[in-house]
Amino acid sequence: MADSPETRKASSASFDEESYLRFNPDVRAAVAAGHFASGRDHFERYGKAEGRQTKKLSNQLRDRVIATGNLDAPRPRPKNWACSIDSVMISPAGGIFFTGWVDDYLEILDSIDLYFGEWAISFSGAGIARTRRPDVEAARGLAPRHSYGFWGFTAAGRTLPSGPCSVVIRLRSGTEASLMIVAEFLSDLELRTTILHQIETANYFGPPAFEAAHSFGPAIGAQITAFNKILAAHAIKTPYAERFGDVKPHYKGSIIVCLHGNLDAIFVQQALFSQQPDIQDFEFIYVCQNPEQAESLLNEARHSAQIYGLDQTIILLGANAGLSAARNLAAQYANSDRLLFVSPAILPYDQNFIVQHTQVLENAPPEQTALFSVPLFYDDGSLMHGGIYFELDMMPRFETGNMAETILLRPEHYGRGAAPDTAIFLRPRPVPAISGAFISAHRAWFEKLGGFSTDYVLGGYEDADFCLKSLGQGKPAWLHGAKLFHLEGAAKPGAAGTINRWLFTKTWGEIVQKDLLGPAPKNPVFR
């Protein structure tokens, strides 16, 4: 089929600036905004010989960045077909994030291609997250129950140029639209925050956690976790550490605390733990991931060391590496064979906790102390944690007349809300998992298991993941009889919790469903 006048491109020698801009409104807008010096400037970057169209990237090249050389100019958007690209954002570590909408109610979205100078990336329609767009529905009067919105992300592994980006949206029928947008350059941390905000605020027709989990599956979830690992590794690359008090070559235990913004925890924890007998045989290691608090934290540590006489190490990071990476880093600074991972909200239940912890290590068999926790209580005295078990949530999804299910695992705490003397939840026993609010681990075992997985974004589910790794190696987590307060209220899972729950289910779903479901799992270890 011959090209229409609207799509025909002149050769460079006979270039008609006026016609080129008249028949390419997106280019005209980009020139008016100053992104191109002229229509010829755009043509020289993206144009080709007369009559040639945009090359369609093959299915084998989807969701990855490829070198394309000079690209053929994209065809303009057909009339009466509605779509838009809202934003394209890139970061130094190669993160590429985009949002927009497309009216594909009667067709199927095939791909979205992004062209950056001599680089391009093609996102398959199946690997793009779909969301509801009430603003588009209202503005265009779109009545059908359909998710018109879309967003995508990939960790390209290379830095792409910011500035003009050509976006081609294609349907299975072969219809395609070409749009121009300026790609915004963000820092890696800003881009991660933007992605989490997208997950947090997206609209769906069904339950958000399940709809989001469904969209993570084909490609996005793996890309986000890969990107997060890059950020975590970079954040812990150059830590600053300062020790206060005496520095002994060896302690009975190292109490590791990752601070979450509230610096009062270091003073309150040390004030209460300083009253414990034998506490001088333990060191404290605090990790701060907010550089703005560095000066205040160092002063607080200096004062508390003078007042309470406890040996402590302060580790400062320039960015939020996430709970897993921060704890793994702190373990490297520990001068003991016993690692106690403690939340800032953990406080002694009585003045004998350290003694009771030592008695557990001395009296229980080694396989029961490689990894264990203790009952945790709310401030009103009711039980918060007596071990963790897993339930399975299934939610139906209706797509094109067919029903499908999204499955997610849900951790539950044994005895949550029970009276403080409910013996059945307090007795020593193996449990499927324990809370990351307090974990006592033998250092050699912790290192053998590779520490906490940094796949999990910021924090959440890495504790259960670690426990299931330990169980798979023949040593289940245990609950022993000492007690602690956990003065932390119920928190919303947030966007990080949403993606971490999806990742935990993807990693452990099949194994848990086999014999680890419910408060009385079939696995013989827990009978």
Give pLDDT, residue 79.
Answer: 46
pLDDT in tens, 162-221: 788 889 998 888 888 888 888 899 999 999 999 999 999 998 888 888 888 888 887 899
Which is it for the CA torsion 412, 413, 419, 422, positive or negative? Answer: positive
Q: Partners of 176 in the beta sheet?
A: 170
Mean pLDDT for the chain? 83
Among 115-119, 146-150, 286-290, 342-346, the range scoring the smallest mean pLDDT is 115-119
Q: At CA 39, angle to CA 38 and CA 42, rounded to 5?
A: 95
The pLDDT-based confidence of 156 (bands split at 50, 70, 90) is: confident
Q: Is the pLDDT of residue 12 over 50?
A: no
Give pLDDT, residue 291.
Answer: 85
Q: Average pLDDT in the 105-127 region?
A: 85
Residue type, 79: K
The pLDDT-based confidence of 329 (bands split at 50, 70, 90) is: very high
The pLDDT-based confidence of 155 (bands split at 50, 70, 90) is: confident
Can you state the angle between helices 494-515 and 462-472, rounded to 10 degrees? 20
Give pLDDT, residue 490.
Answer: 53
Q: Average pLDDT in the 10-38 region?
A: 64
User: Under 8 Å CB-to-CB from 138, ≥6 apart: which residues?
Assistant: none
Q: 3-class SS at 167?
A: strand
Residue by residue, DSSP assigns 244-288 as ES---S-BSEEEEEE--S-THHHHHHHHHHTTSTTGGGEEEEEEE
The pLDDT-based confidence of 153 (bands split at 50, 70, 90) is: very high
Counting every residue written for the chain, the total comes to 527
Among 10-14, 150-154, 246-250, the range scoring the smallest mean pLDDT is 10-14
Among 24-33, 106-115, 250-259, 324-333, the range scoring the smallest mean pLDDT is 24-33
Q: Average pLDDT in the 430-446 region?
A: 95
Higher-scoring residue by pLDDT: 180, 71: 180
The pLDDT-based confidence of 505 (bands split at 50, 70, 90) is: very high
Give pLDDT, residue 239.
Answer: 93
Q: Is the pLDDT of residue 378 over 80?
A: yes
Instruction: Give all domains of the chain, ordered by start, each with its CATH number.
Output: 1-52 (no CATH), 57-234 (2.60.40.10), 236-344 (3.90.550.10), 350-433+458-527 (no CATH)
pTM to 2 decimal places = 0.81
Higher-scoring residue by pLDDT: 158, 483: 483
Q: What is the Cα–Cα distance from 485 to 446, expressed in whole angstroms?
A: 24
Question: Averaging pLDDT over each range in 43-47, 94-98, 218-222, which range is the top one?
Answer: 94-98
Give pLDDT, residue 9.
Answer: 36
Closest to 119 in 3D by CA, of 168, 161, 86, 88: 161
Q: Is the pLDDT of residue 77 over 50?
A: no
